[in-house]
Amino acid sequence: MKVGDRHYRTIWLDEGEPSKVHIIDQRSLPHVFKVETIVNVQEMTVAIADMHVRGAGLIGAAAGFGMYLAARAAAIEGHNFSQELHQAAKMLLDARPTAVNLAWAVQRQLDAMAQGQEVADKVSIAYQTARLIADEDANHCKSIGIQGLSLIKDLSKAKKGKPVNILTHCNAGWLAFVDYGSATAPIYAAHDTGIAVHVWVDETRPRNQGARLTAWELQEHQVPHTVISDNVGGHLMQNGLVDLVLVGTDRTTYTGDVANKIGTYLKALAAKDNGVPFYVALPSSTFDWNIKDGVAEIPIEQRDGREVKYIQGLHQNELKEVLLTPPESKAANFAFDVTPSRLISGLITERGICKASEASILELFPERKQ
Amino acid sequence: MKVGDRHYRTIWLDEGEPSKVHIIDQRSLPHVFKVETIVNVQEMTVAIADMHVRGAGLIGAAAGFGMYLAARAAAIEGHNFSQELHQAAKMLLDARPTAVNLAWAVQRQLDAMAQGQEVADKVSIAYQTARLIADEDANHCKSIGIQGLSLIKDLSKAKKGKPVNILTHCNAGWLAFVDYGSATAPIYAAHDTGIAVHVWVDETRPRNQGARLTAWELQEHQVPHTVISDNVGGHLMQNGLVDLVLVGTDRTTYTGDVANKIGTYLKALAAKDNGVPFYVALPSSTFDWNIKDGVAEIPIEQRDGREVKYIQGLHQNELKEVLLTPPESKAANFAFDVTPSRLISGLITERGICKASEASILELFPERKQ
């Protein structure tokens, strides 16, 4: 997507120096646009754990590039290649537990490299695979945009062209993927084809990915939007002010349960209570084909309570962090929750839209049938 | 309640100078404890509208004192007493539309003063009535504590003395009333009788009354508590980590619909979905005996979007305000939502606990039957 006049992805290999990966450091957005250079898997792990990069698809792509950097370093240093690679894999996997794309990308790299004979081959394979993961992610998101566009078109027709009000939670925008985004892809597609849309942006505490990242994306793309606190969605739905809820996911079971940013479940309950369609957009890399019961089985990341007690923002043109609570108060920071499939109207994937049920998902992905 | 070693109410008449009302300016809590002096109804209106004071009961008490200050000024200045009084009443009523205690207290003052013959009598009546409203509020909250204690006792027994986990939203603590609080009164009562409790404190965006005020109150009273973002409650309830949801209300219909701080409805949905008891505590002054359908009829205050875009906190021992969103993004700020009675397990009033239904409410308040 464009930032100002220039097209960016969220992560890319340096054109001249294949030892360098560039990322947009998302921690300082929307106030400062900063590109960071990553030169080894240790730095990539920190970038993932400390959320310089975040979001289902981008974490996967970052892990893919991280494994490539690890392979490259292990080859150059000449130690035990396989051992170093598995150490790197473990380090990456520990960085964030809930998003399945991370584990998926690491495993994909290990499987791909296993096909190479020589260390040099393995490094080339890792290079190719990292690029492939990133390209696939961007392409899948682009397809999600086309698939989801039909939903928004229908709502727009039903409203006789009046703006379609879409509520989204967290950032499932292009910043959460390599490009386009999942939940935002249909919104950009609709806006670009001249359909009137308006987005209610949940600020998404505690890290405010909505207020910081989704609002910034929409602002850059000139999509009409309004930032709201996470508490507001229920009231809006009760009063007919939301036509569609559209969110992303960090892990979706093959039965249709959806782990997404903490608070998603509450919006799904409100959508159900008010008959508002609730859709989840995801590239198929976000499916977990091994988990049946999302609430019972998906591991939920707990982050430092500090992220709840302190918040960063702009004060007189400088980024400052302020304390929000009594200094002595404890804070808990569960990063995700699970929305049971019964609350979900449908899933928007790169292959089409399906119901949040095992049968419907497997109809779109028949190769996963056992 | 105590602040350090000294007992405070949230609003009180100066002992020596009856022309002065003191309030705790809640805007700078928990970082700075500041007492403000109010000398006329204009200042009181600003204090209510800009939320130096807030909360159902306290707004009522502040309006009561505001009307007294208005009567006093009108008597001294010798203009048209009745006209000035009605202007003051209108000004106070316009300060905040959702909380019914405000209108209730203003009307109570007007009705009381109508009983006096001379202007001097009316001022004395206003003085007495203002004190009465405040005392009643404190007493009712104390009674709510005793009534609600039984609920927590039962849960504690069922858990064999393990801490009862109570989730609360916003601040329905003593800072929201004249003393004791509504939702917190049973919690303080339980804690003081040695029952183990732990409170999940919703931070309550955008104004963070939970993170700032409830956490501060609980910290001062040494009640174990954990601050969470508003997004977390659903996940906690899904995982058996909440035994009771206990909130306040700014207006409750005689049919049991509850207007409370924005986001309450979402927690009620999650409680219903997970079989967690959801109780609302209120002094009877918070009932609106004229409104039947809360969602359709209770006016919902919309405040400045600035309160969503900026937040105040402590930075290097100074209060600083930081910008959270892109500067160009719009923000909407609905201050309350309505929880339908079907989601509410019961109401805790000064007279006892009843169901959130017309029949059950009128059984406790038979004098309201028509």
Q: Which residues of chain B have pLDDT under 70?
A: none
Residues A244 and A103 in one domain: no
Instruction: Indicate whether B142 belongs to any domain.
Output: no
Instruction: Indicate whether B256 belongs to any domain.
Output: yes
Distance separating alpha carbons of residues B84 and B113, to the nearest angstrom: 13
The residue-averaged pLDDT of A6-26 equals: 95
Using the 3D structure, point to which of A86, A112, A136 is the last residue of a domain: A136
CB contact under 8 Å between A329 and B212, yes or no, is no
Give pLDDT, residue A79: 78
**What is this structure's pTM?**
0.96
Burial of A319 (0-12, 13-18, 19+ CB in 10 A): middle
Give pLDDT, residue B1: 85
Tokens of A119: 């260390």
Which residues in chain A have their CB less than 8 angstroms from residue B226's CB? 305, 329-332
Give pLDDT, residue A93: 96
Residue to substitute from A235, A298, A320, interface B, most B β-carbons within 10 A = A235
* Cα radius of gyration (chain B): 20
Residues B183 and B332 in one domain: yes
Residues A59 and A11 in one domain: yes
Write the CB contacts of B21 (distance below 8 Å, at least 6 apart in sequence): B11, B12, B13, B14, B37, B38, B39, B44, B65, B69
Residues A24 and A131 in one domain: yes
Residues B104 and B170 in one domain: no
Instruction: Indicate whether B248 belongs to any domain.
Output: yes
- Distance (Å) from the alpha carbon of A30 to chain B's nearest alpha carbon: 6
φ and ψ of B168, to 5 deg? -130, 150
Q: Return the closest-CA partner of residue A254 out of A130, A358, A169.
A: A358
Which residues in chain A have their CB less than 8 angstroms from residue B231's CB? 204-205, 230, 261-263, 266, 337
Instruction: Indicate whether A142 belongs to any domain.
Output: no
Which residues in chain A have their CB less than 8 angstroms from residue B208's CB? 324
Tokens of A252: 């979706």
Give pLDDT, residue A259: 98
Using the 3D structure, point to which of A136, A159, A188 is the last residue of a domain: A136
CB contact under 8 Å between B219 and A326, yes or no, is yes
How many DSSP H helices and E strands does chain A contain? Answer: 13, 19
Residues A253 and A130 in one domain: no
Q: A210 pLDDT exceeds 80?
A: yes
Q: Return the closest-CA partner of residue B93 out of B129, B67, B55, B128.
A: B67
Q: State whether residue B225 sits within 8 Å of chain A by CB.
A: yes
In the numeric block, the tokens 């240790």 are attached to: A42
Nearest residue of A to residue B302 by CA position? A232
Distance separating alpha carbons of residues A299 and A250, to the nearest angstrom: 11
Tokens of A208: 């405010």
CB contact under 8 Å between B331 and A216, yes or no, is no
Instruction: Indicate whether A283 belongs to any domain.
Output: yes
In the numeric block, the tokens 């809640």 are attached to: B26
DSSP secondary structure letters along A151-198: HHHHHHHHTTTSPEEEEE-S--SGGGSSSS-SSHHHHHHHHHTT--EE
Of B225, B235, B273, the CB nearest to A337: B235
Q: State whether residue B80 sits within 8 Å of chain A by CB.
A: no
Residues A36 and A112 in one domain: yes
Mean pLDDT in chain A? 97
Give pLDDT, residue A77: 86
The residue-averaged pLDDT of A55-62 equals: 96
A18 cis-preceded (ω within 30 degrees of 0): no
Residues B288 and B310 in one domain: yes
What's the number of domains chain A is made of? 2
Give pLDDT, residue A215: 98
Residues A157 and A229 in one domain: yes
Q: pLDDT tens digit string along A313-333?
A: 999 999 999 999 999 999 999
A227 band by pLDDT with thresholds 50, 70 and 90: very high
Q: What is the sign, positive or negative, of the torsion defined by CA atoms of B178, B180, B185, B187?
A: positive
Of A216, A228, A330, the CB nearest to B226: A330
Residues B105 and B180 in one domain: no
Residues B124 and B211 in one domain: no
In the numeric block, the tokens 């001097």 are attached to: B120
Give pLDDT, residue B255: 98
Give pLDDT, residue A127: 97
Which residues in chain A have their CB less than 8 angstroms from residue B163's CB? none
Tokens of A33: 């646009």
Give pLDDT, residue A97: 86
Q: pLDDT tens digit string along A295-309?
A: 999 999 999 999 999
Q: Which residues of A165-184 are buried (b: 16+ CB within 10 A; e: fewer)?
A: bbbbbbbbbbbbbbbbbbbb
Instruction: Indicate whether A79 belongs to any domain.
Output: yes
Q: State whether residue B167 sits within 8 Å of chain A by CB.
A: no
Q: Return the closest-CA partner of residue A324 out of B217, B172, B212.
A: B212
Give pLDDT, residue B15: 87
Instruction: Indicate whether A141 belongs to any domain.
Output: no
Q: What is the CATH number of the domain that holds A130?
A: 1.20.120.420
Q: Return the closest-CA partner of residue A25 out of A312, A232, A223.
A: A312
Q: A78 pLDDT exceeds 80?
A: no
Residues B18 and B114 in one domain: yes
Using the 3D structure, point to which of B115, B136, B157 is the last residue of a domain: B136
The residue-averaged pLDDT of A335-347 equals: 98
Instruction: Indicate whether B125 belongs to any domain.
Output: yes
Domain that holds residue B236: 147-368
Give pLDDT, residue B77: 86
